[in-house]
């Protein structure tokens, strides 16, 4: 009990310290992903719609840490058999960014290590795998109010999954991620 | 009075029916039966019981019970719309029951049968079956042609005995075209004048009258004379096409057909692919450019080497509508494991034929293959034509009995006048103790089994026997060999039944003859293939408009499924000539294994395609098609039921999703009628 009280007090104290001075931001958005993998794009299409969430904390004069999550899903109807195949790619990113603000405009550059995963459900089977990768990008924000901004980001992410040939898996390398152009709405606090 | 009524009740009933009762009342009753519409006129219908019998549609033979009351008769008259065509008055009187032939213009025979059977007044009913003459040829050796009876050839010959418009080719050691049982059925090139040294028809072959000799057997060159250099080709030709009903020798599957001789074997009795390709090329040329109605080529040869050029030649023949009927091989091995060519080429115009024996078992020498062999046909102990005077025939005369005794290979000869001696039972002749002293100077009668014919004959010879007669340890006769040439006493084989009869007589005088003949017995898949090739010829005569693939389907559909052949070949069946010639429901199945890939995952699936052709006269109506699958040696299970109405353009494609890698699957289609009875099956196709 005493321990719980101590942790609660610590969280409140820490939050008060952190949430001061517009050091935090969160944003939600959606964008278009131009998927990396050629075979993927042959089957599921090159352009995918992808929601994203992002949060950041300015830890030192224009430098911020950020955490992001994005995903996209696609389906493919297998010719002749008319069965549906479904794929899902998601990415969890943890990185740093640098931002500079001039009036209502703010631009930033960011980089992150990612943990990307894929799930393919087809042919009465489910395949799951994940791999580490990276993401690089830049963005432009416009503050429509003091703490509210809209922005666009352009980034590239990549993670590689290498598969050995099995009875149900096609061997070889798969590229996850791709070019992303996204719009988002965010809050600074 | 009561007894009198009992005795004559049938007559009273008959009187009522004939003079006043039947038509009006019955017609009225029929009106109530909304499910009956006037039937389409059809004279003859196949019995749905699947017994192959045919009957006259709309007619039923009825026998009434002796005790038939007026009211029962009246009810019958009201309920049934039948006319009485004939009263069997004498039989009715003698048997004290009414025997009638009745007819309905609206109800089918099956409907009438069902209605009548439901009546307590009726004791027995039957369709008015159509019977046929049991047409057998008058060829004196016909009774020895067990294979013809096994494939129901006599019933087939009721429909068709062949056509001179149909040509079958024998790619073999040549054919004795002067043979008394073949000469009339030899193909003659109409554009060629014999022996004038000129290529009259301009086909590139000089004096190709009966065919051609494609083997380099004369100073390395080829010639126009396809005369048999052995006996194999003549034997094969006789199975396919020995003239039937001519009072001589044997008859072929076709009594009347034309045989093109494509001699391709060299004097060492081997064939080179170059020779067979040249022969096939010639056959194609004659069909394509000279209008010869060549239906099939018999290819009773093969070995394990795959030759894509030979395959191409056969494929080209297929494109020209020529079927190649191939022997599966005589090594007793599995062609799936050790492919045997040309039987093993995966081409739709190839039929690979295994050999069956008199007991409908796979012959012990015959190759087999669930995926690579198609069908079986008689191939053990087949009597057929031999080049004139080159055959041997044996006879054992015992009192009034005359037995067919088959000379063994390398057997010695008795005197031309016959070898007269006592026949002495020597048991199974396994060692010298089986041979009593009295066999010295006499003929040893020995049962087959446990050791070789060579050893049994040697022991008999050592004991002083002047001949050995070895009778079978199973049904029927057999042909044996003494293994190698030598100074052998005459040795013949005898059917078990005949051997046991002779054994029962104890020691008694017999006379053994072995004479030169125009006929002899050979066995092998070489002998099985021409039964099927002949069947193609007969089908071409019966159904001249059929595409070759349909003729093949008829052969497979009509074949007899046998447990002994199950999973040994694609049909699991032995040729049935009569059923192949029937108007039939033909199911053609093709299965393709395909792989589907998505991004990461992949799987196999089967594309199962079947098509249906229902001859107008088949008399069958399909309600449901079942797609069956077996794998890993398990039995078949139905994986898909397809209503007849689901077929489009008489075909259906089903995707069997998804298959395990490395596992073989076998598919089968069965058609069922409304009663759930299987009325047709496809071949079994494996992937």
Beta-bridge partner residues of A76: A85
Smallest Cβ distance to A85: which of B598, B605, B661? B598
User: In sequence order, what DSSP letters do the residues of A111-168 get, joined into one string?
Assistant: EEEEEEEEEEEETTEEEEEEEEEEEEEEEEEEESSSSEEEEEEEEEEEEEEEE---SS
Nearest to B601 by CA among A170, A34, A79, A96: A170
CB contact under 8 A, A170 and B661: no
Interface mutation target, options B592, B599, B604, chain A, most CBs of A under 10 Å? B599
CA distances from B369 to A29, B194, B396, B551, B579 (A): 64, 44, 39, 22, 24
pLDDT at B439: 95
The complex's ipTM works out to 0.87
Highest mean pLDDT, choosing among B163-172, B517-526, B561-570: B163-172
Where do the DSSP E strands lie in B219-290? 221-223, 258-263
Ramachandran class of B219: left when φ > 0, alpha when ψ lies in -120 to 50, beta otherwise: left
Nearest to B670 by CA among B686, B684, B681: B681
Q: How far is A5 from chain B (nearest CA, A)?
A: 50
Identify all chain B residues contacting A120, using CB atoms and an 8 Å cutoff. Answer: 598-601
CB contact under 8 A, B599 and A125: no
Q: How far is B658 from chain A (nearest CA, A)?
A: 7
What is the C-alpha to C-alpha distance for residues A18 and B272, in angstroms, rounded to an integer? 93
Pair B555, B351: CB distance under 8 Å = yes
For B7-75, what is the HEC assignment? Answer: HHHHHHHHHHHHHHHHHHHHHHHHHHCCCCCCCCCCCEEECCCCCCCEEEEEEEEEEECCCCCHHHHHH
What angle is formed at CA B654 by the lines to CA B653 and CA B659, rounded to 5 degrees? 140
pLDDT at B34: 31
Pair B263, B229: CB distance under 8 Å = yes
Q: Residue B654 pLDDT > 90, yes or no?
A: yes
| A interface residues, B as partner, C-beta within 8 Å | 37, 39-40, 43-44, 76, 78, 80-81, 83, 85, 87, 118, 120, 122-125, 127, 129, 163, 167-170, 174
Beta-bridge partner residues of B103: B59, B83
Residues 6+ apart with CB under 8 A from B434: B426, B427, B428, B446, B459
Identify all chain A residues contacting B657, using CB atoms and an 8 Å cutoff. Answer: 81, 83, 123-124
The domain B584-687 having CATH identifier 3.40.50.300: the answer here is no
pLDDT at A145: 92
Burial class (CB in 10 A: 0-12, 13-18, 19+), B135: middle
Beta-bridge partner residues of B397: B402, B511
Q: Residue B172 pLDDT > 50, yes or no?
A: yes
Residues 6+ apart with CB under 8 A from B220: none
Identify all chain A residues contacting B605, using CB atoms and an 8 Å cutoff. Answer: 81
What is the C-alpha to C-alpha distance for residues B556 and A33, in angstroms, rounded to an integer? 58
Instruction: Give the max Cα distance, chain A.
Output: 66
Q: At what angle do helices B548-558 and B525-542 cross, to 10 degrees?
A: 120
- In 3-state terms, what secondary structure has residue A17? helix
Identify all chain A residues contacting B662, using CB atoms and an 8 Å cutoff. Answer: 167
Q: What is the mean pLDDT of residues B520-542?
A: 96
Q: What's the pLDDT band for B23 if we cut at 50, 70, 90? A: very low
pLDDT at B220: 56
Q: Among the listed ranges B12-26, B329-343, B401-415, which one has the minimum average pLDDT value?
A: B12-26
For B360-376, what is the HEC assignment? Answer: CCECCCCCECCCCCCEE
pLDDT at B21: 39
CB contact under 8 A, A168 and B657: no
User: In sequence order, what DSSP letters do the residues of B105-156 get, joined into one string?
Assistant: SSS-HHHHHHHHHT-TTEEEEEEEEE---------TTGGG-HHHHHTTHHHH
Q: How far is B470 from chain A (nearest CA, A)?
A: 58
What is the C-alpha to C-alpha distance for residues A124 and A142, in angstroms, rounded to an integer? 47
Side-chain half-sphere exposure of A93, counting CA atoms within 13 A: 30
Which residue of chain A has the CA closest to B606? A81
B658 — contact with chain A (CB < 8 Å)? yes
Nearest to B238 by CA among B138, B362, B148: B148
What is the C-alpha to C-alpha distance for residues A5 and A14, in angstroms, rounded to an integer? 14
Residues 6+ apart with CB under 8 A from B577: B151, B152, B153, B155, B156, B253, B535, B538, B558
Secondary structure letter of residue B204 according to DSSP:
S
Reported as type and span, the H/E element at residue A8 is helix A2-18
Interface mutation target, options A73, A125, A131, chain B, most CBs of B under 10 Å? A125
What is the C-alpha to C-alpha distance for residues A89 and A95, in angstroms, rounded to an integer? 19
- B 578-617 → A contacts, CB under 8 A: 596-603, 605, 607
Reported as type and span, the H/E element at residue B551 is helix B548-558
As a whole-number percent, the residues of chain B with pLDDT over 90 amount to: 58
Pair B284, B276: CB distance under 8 Å = no
CB contact under 8 A, B600 and A81: no
B34 — contact with chain A (CB < 8 Å)? no
CB contact under 8 A, A127 and B600: yes
Q: Residue A155 pLDDT > 80, yes or no?
A: yes
Reported as type and span, the H/E element at residue A41 is helix A38-44
Q: What's the pLDDT band for B44 if we cut at 50, 70, 90? A: low
Nearest to B154 by CA among B235, B245, B236: B245
Helices marked H in B433-547: 453-462, 496-504, 525-542
Nearest to B169 by CA among B281, B319, B34: B281
Question: CATH number for the B392-515 domain, one of 3.40.50.720, 2.60.120.10, 3.40.50.970, 3.50.30.30?
Answer: 3.50.30.30
Q: How far is A39 from chain B (nearest CA, A)?
A: 7
Q: At what angle do helices B70-79 and B2-16 cross, to 10 degrees?
A: 20
Q: At what angle do helices B232-241 and B525-542 cross, to 10 degrees?
A: 30
Tens digits of residue pLDDT in A91-145 = 999 999 999 999 999 999 999 999 999 999 999 999 999 999 999 999 999 999 9
pLDDT at B42: 45
Identify all chain B residues contacting A81, using CB atoms and an 8 Å cutoff. Answer: 596, 605, 655, 657
Tens digits of residue pLDDT in B487-503 = 999 999 999 999 999 99
Nearest to A139 by CA among A61, A56, A50, A22: A56
Nearest to A154 by CA among A177, A183, A132: A183
- B 522-581 → A contacts, CB under 8 A: none
What angle is formed at CA B173 by the lines to CA B245 and CA B346, rounded to 5 degrees? 95
Smallest Cβ distance to A43: which of B599, B603, B660? B599
B657 — contact with chain A (CB < 8 Å)? yes
The average confidence (pLDDT) of chain B is 86
Pair B519, B384: CB distance under 8 Å = yes
pLDDT at A113: 97
Where do the DSSP E strands lie in B482-584? 491-494, 508-517, 519-522, 560-561, 573-574
pLDDT at B109: 87
Smallest Cβ distance to B598: which of A80, A122, A163? A122
CB contact under 8 A, B655 and A81: yes
Q: How far is A124 from chain B (nearest CA, A)?
A: 8
CATH 2.60.40.10 in chain B, residues? Answer: 584-687
Smallest Cβ distance to A170: which of B602, B657, B660? B602
Tell me chain A's radius of gyration from C-alpha atoms: 20
Residues 6+ apart with CB under 8 A from B374: B351, B352, B353, B556, B569, B570, B571, B683
Nearest to B241 by CA among B132, B161, B303, B144: B161
Smallest Cβ distance to A169: which of B601, B655, B660? B601
Q: Among the listed ranges B275-279, B391-395, B682-686, which one has the minimum average pLDDT value?
A: B682-686
CB contact under 8 A, B601 and A80: no
Smallest Cβ distance to A168: which of B603, B605, B655? B603
Helices marked H in B272-408: 273-288, 308-319
CB contact under 8 A, B598 and A168: no
Question: CATH number for the A22-188 domain, one of 3.10.180.10, 2.40.160.20, 3.30.365.10, 1.10.3720.10?
Answer: 2.40.160.20
What is the C-alpha to C-alpha distance for residues A85 and B658, in angstroms, rounded to an integer? 14
Q: How far is A112 from chain B (nearest CA, A)?
A: 27
What is the C-alpha to C-alpha distance for residues B667 and B687, in angstroms, rounded to an integer? 8
Identify all chain B residues contacting A80, using CB atoms and an 8 Å cutoff. Answer: 607, 655
The architecture CATH gives domain B152-178+210-385+524-534: 3-Layer(aba) Sandwich (3.40)
CB contact under 8 A, B600 and A83: no
pLDDT at B69: 58
Identify all chain B residues contacting A87, using CB atoms and an 8 Å cutoff. Answer: 598-599
CB contact under 8 A, A40 and B605: no
Tell me the count of A-B CB pairs closer than 8 A.
Answer: 61
Tens digits of residue pLDDT in B360-373 = 999 999 999 988 99
Q: What is the mean pLDDT of residues B33-54?
A: 50
Burial class (CB in 10 A: 0-12, 13-18, 19+), B75: middle
What is the C-alpha to C-alpha distance for residues A111 and A135, in angstroms, rounded to an integer? 6
CA distances from B98 to B57, B69, B80, B550 (A): 22, 13, 17, 48
Q: What is the mean pLDDT of residues B247-272?
A: 92
Interface mutation target, options A83, A126, A161, A166, chain B, most CBs of B under 10 Å? A83
CA distances from B539 to B298, B365, B395, B555 (A): 15, 29, 36, 9
Which residue of chain A has the CA closest to B662? A167
Percent helix / strand / coil, chain B, rounded to 5: 25, 30, 45
Nearest to B232 by CA among B258, B271, B290: B271
Identify all chain B residues contacting A76, using CB atoms and an 8 Å cutoff. Answer: 598
Q: What's the pLDDT band for B143 if we cut at 50, 70, 90? A: confident
Tens digits of residue pLDDT in B399-441 = 999 998 999 988 998 998 899 999 999 999 999 999 999 999 9
CATH 3.50.30.30 in chain B, residues? Answer: 392-515
Q: How far is B661 from chain A (nearest CA, A)?
A: 6
Q: What is the mean pLDDT of residues A142-158?
A: 95
CB contact under 8 A, B599 and A83: no
Smallest Cβ distance to A81: which of B596, B602, B662? B596
CB contact under 8 A, B601 and A163: no
- In 3-state terms, what secondary structure has residue A98? strand
Q: Residue B279 pLDDT > 70, yes or no?
A: yes
Which residue of chain B has the CA closest to A88? B599
Pair B263, B172: CB distance under 8 Å = yes
CB contact under 8 A, A78 and B601: no
Reported as type and span, the H/E element at residue A67 is strand A63-77
Smallest Cβ distance to A123: which of B603, B607, B662? B603
């Amino acid at each position: 009990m005493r321990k719980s009280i101590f942790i609660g007090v610590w969280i409140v104290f820490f939050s008060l310290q952190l949430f001061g001075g517009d050091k935090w931001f969160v944003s939600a958005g959606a964008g278009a992903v131009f998927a990396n993998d050629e075979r993927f794009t042959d089957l599921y299409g090159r352009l995918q719609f992808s929601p994203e969430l992002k949060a950041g904390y300015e830890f030192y004069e224009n430098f911020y840490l950020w955490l992001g999550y994005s995903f996209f899903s696609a389906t493919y109807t297998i010719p002749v058999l008319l069965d549906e195949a479904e794929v899902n790619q998601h990415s969890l990113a943890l990185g740093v960014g640098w931002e500079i603000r001039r009036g209502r405009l703010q631009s930033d550059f960011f980089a992150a290590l990612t943990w990307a995963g894929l799930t393919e459900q087809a042919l009465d089977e489910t395949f799951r795998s994940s791999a580490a990768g990276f993401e690089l990008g830049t963005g432009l924000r416009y503050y429509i109010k003091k703490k509210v901004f809209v922005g666009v980001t352009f980034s590239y992410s990549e993670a590689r999954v290498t598969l050995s040939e099995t009875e149900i898996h096609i061997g070889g390398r798969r590229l996850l991620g791709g070019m992303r152009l996204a719009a988002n709405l965010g809050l600074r606090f | 009075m009561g007894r009198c009524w009992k005795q004559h009740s049938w007559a009273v009933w008959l009187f009522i029916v004939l003079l006043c009762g039947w038509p009006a009342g019955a017609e009225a009753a029929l009106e109530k039966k909304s499910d009956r519409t006037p039937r389409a006129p059809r004279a003859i219908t196949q019995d749905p019981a699947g017994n192959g019998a045919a009957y006259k549609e709309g007619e039923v033979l009825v026998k009434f019970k002796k005790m038939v009351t007026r009211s029962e008769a009246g009810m019958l008259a009201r309920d049934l719309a039948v006319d009485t065509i004939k009263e069997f008055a004498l039989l009715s009187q003698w048997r004290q029951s009414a025997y009638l032939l009745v007819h309905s213009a609206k109800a089918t025979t099956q409907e009438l049968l069902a209605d009548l059977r439901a009546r307590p007044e009726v004791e027995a009913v039957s369709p008015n079956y159509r019977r046929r003459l049991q047409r057998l040829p008058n060829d004196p050796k016909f009774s020895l042609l067990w294979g013809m009876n096994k494939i129901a050839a006599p019933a087939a010959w009721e429909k068709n005995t062949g056509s001179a418009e149909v040509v079958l080719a024998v790619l073999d050691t040549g054919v004795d075209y002067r043979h008394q049982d073949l000469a009339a059925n030899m193909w003659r090139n109409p554009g060629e004048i014999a022996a004038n040294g000129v290529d009259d028809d301009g086909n590139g072959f000089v004096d190709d009258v009966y065919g051609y000799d494609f083997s380099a057997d004369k100073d390395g060159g080829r010639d126009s004379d396809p005369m048999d250099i052995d006996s194999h080709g003549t034997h094969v030709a006789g199975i396919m096409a020995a003239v039937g009903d001519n009072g001589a020798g044997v008859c072929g599957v076709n009594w009347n057909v034309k045989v093109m001789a494509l001699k391709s074997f060299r004097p060492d009795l081997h064939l080179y692919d170059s020779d067979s390709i040249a022969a096939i090329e010639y056959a194609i040329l004659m069909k394509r450019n000279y209008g010869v109605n060549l239906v099939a080529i018999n290819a009773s040869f093969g070995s394990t080497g795959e030759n894509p050029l030979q395959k191409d030649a056969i494929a080209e023949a297929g494109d020209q509508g020529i079927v190649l009927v191939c022997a599966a091989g005589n090594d007793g091995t599995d062609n799936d494991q050790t492919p045997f060519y040309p039987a093993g080429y995966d081409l739709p115009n190839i039929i690979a034929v295994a050999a069956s024996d008199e007991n409908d078992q796979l012959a012990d020498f015959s190759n087999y293959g669930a995926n690579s062999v198609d069908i079986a046909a008689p191939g053990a102990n087949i009597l057929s034509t031999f080049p004139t005077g080159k055959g041997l025939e044996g006879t054992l005369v015992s009192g009034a009995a005359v037995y067919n005794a088959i000379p063994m290979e390398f057997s010695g000869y008795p005197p031309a006048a016959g070898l007269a001696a006592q026949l002495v039972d020597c048991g199974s002749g396994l060692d010298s103790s089986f041979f009593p002293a009295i066999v010295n100077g006499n003929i040893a009668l020995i049962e087959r089994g446990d050791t070789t014919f060579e050893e049994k004959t040697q022991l008999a010879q050592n004991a002083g026997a002047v001949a050995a007669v070895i009778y079978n340890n199973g049904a029927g006769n057999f042909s044996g060999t003494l293994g190698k040439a030598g100074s052998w006493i005459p040795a013949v084989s005898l059917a078990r039944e005949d051997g046991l009869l002779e054994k029962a007589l104890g020691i008694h005088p017999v006379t053994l003859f072995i004479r030169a003949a125009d006929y002899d017995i050979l066995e092998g898949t070489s002998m099985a293939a021409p039964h099927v090739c002949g069947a193609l010829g007969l089908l071409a005569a019966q159904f001249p408009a059929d595409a070759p693939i349909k003729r093949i389907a008829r052969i497979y559909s009509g074949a007899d499924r046998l447990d002994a052949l199950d999973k040994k070949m694609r049909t699991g069946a032995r040729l049935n000539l009569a059923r192949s010639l029937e108007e039939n429901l033909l199911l053609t199945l093709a299965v393709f294994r395909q792989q589907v890939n998505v991004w990461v995952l992949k799987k196999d699936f089967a594309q199962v395609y079947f098509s249906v052709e229902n001859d107008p006269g088949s008399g069958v109506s399909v309600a449901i098609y079942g797609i069956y699958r077996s794998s890993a040696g398990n039995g078949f299970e139905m994986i898909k039921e397809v209503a007849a109405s689901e077929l489009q353009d008489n075909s259906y494609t089903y995707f069997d999703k998804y298959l395990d890698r490395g596992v073989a699957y076998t598919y089968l289609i069965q058609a069922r009628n409304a009663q759930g009875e299987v009325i047709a099956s496809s071949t079994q196709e494996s992937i």
